[in-house]
Amino acid sequence: MKTRTLRADERLPLYQRLREEIQARISSGEWKPDTPIPTEAELAREYGVAVGTVRKAVDTLVNDGLLQRNQGRGTFVRRPDFESSFLRFFRQTNAAGERTVPEGQVIERRIAVPPGYVSDALDLPPQAETIHLKRIRRIEGIPTLCEDIWLPYSRFQALAEIPLQSFGNLLYPFYEHECGQLIAAAKESLRVSCADRQTATALEITVGSPVVIIDRIAQGYDHTPLEYRRSRGGASTFHYQIDIS
């Protein structure tokens, strides 16, 4: 096996250079979510480093949530469960009272320069275009969330021509399949506001009704921001619970 060269800054510790190399191979799609990476011994031979160096690099990626060790099976590229975010915050139940994930429908798509706060969050240059999606999420036909989603056009241009009905209920696997863009992590912030006319119409509530707004910045495995999402839901469905021990 030909030994690979670590390309990261030589001033960095060896394990950190290896960490960035592993992360880059995940980000490129060479190692996909839910699949195992090579063993520590195999990576040590491939890069010509000690097994301890590999273990330290892998440990940092496990701690960051990019990798997951499965006892007896190996170390896998982790696919985060983003849907659990909304289940933490909203009482999303059907008529029988069962917790459920809402069905999503993209109702509008356009190519546009986003608001400044979105450009800043996505680290885009001025006037850079995005694909802007409007999406409604329903439970048994009742709208529970309305969403505005912005994606950098340079990375997601394949979505510009896809029929709206082809967008899946879960968007992140759809991004991966259609554009090769893998979402690895996200940061969310939450606030309470009042429904404007557009939000009230989408959620079938009264203008001025309280709504909860969740802003999400989703990142790739290399920490590149890939999506800005603003989700709004009626405050009457909002629920927050935390266990403290």
Would you state the pLDDT for residue 14? 92
- pLDDT < 50 regions, the chain: none
Q: How far apart are CA 150 and CA 234, in angstroms?
A: 22
Complete domains list, the chain, with CATH: 14-77 (1.10.10.10), 83-237 (3.40.1410.10)
Amino acid identity, position 137: R
CA of 66: how far to CAs of 20, 62, 89, 202, 242, in Å? Answer: 12, 6, 24, 36, 24
Check if the beta carbon of residue 241 is closer than 8 Å to that of residue 235: no
- Taking alpha carbons only, the member of 67, 71, 70, 35 closest to residue 54 is 67
Q: How far apart are CA 35 and CA 47, in angstroms?
A: 21
Structure tokens at 239: 């629920």
Would you state the pLDDT for residue 89? 59
Would you state the pLDDT for residue 129? 97
- Residues whose CB falls within 8 Å of the CB of residue 118, separated by 6 or more in sequence, listed in order: 130, 150, 228
Quickly count: other Cβ atoms within 10 Å of residue 152's Cβ.
22
Is 0.95 topped by the overall pTM?
Answer: no
Quick: pLDDT tens for 176-194. Answer: 899 989 888 889 899 999 9
CA of 155: how far to CAs of 9, 24, 150, in Å? Answer: 26, 17, 12
Q: What are phi and psi of 208, to 5 degrees?
A: 90, -10
Would you state the pLDDT for residue 218? 93
Would you state the pLDDT for residue 113? 97
Dihedral in degrees, nearest 10, Cα atoms 215, 221, 225, 231: -20
Structure tokens at 47: 């890069």
Q: How far apart are CA 211 and CA 238, in angstroms?
A: 9
Would you state the pLDDT for residue 101? 72
- Taking alpha carbons only, the member of 158, 87, 148, 88 closest to residue 121 is 148
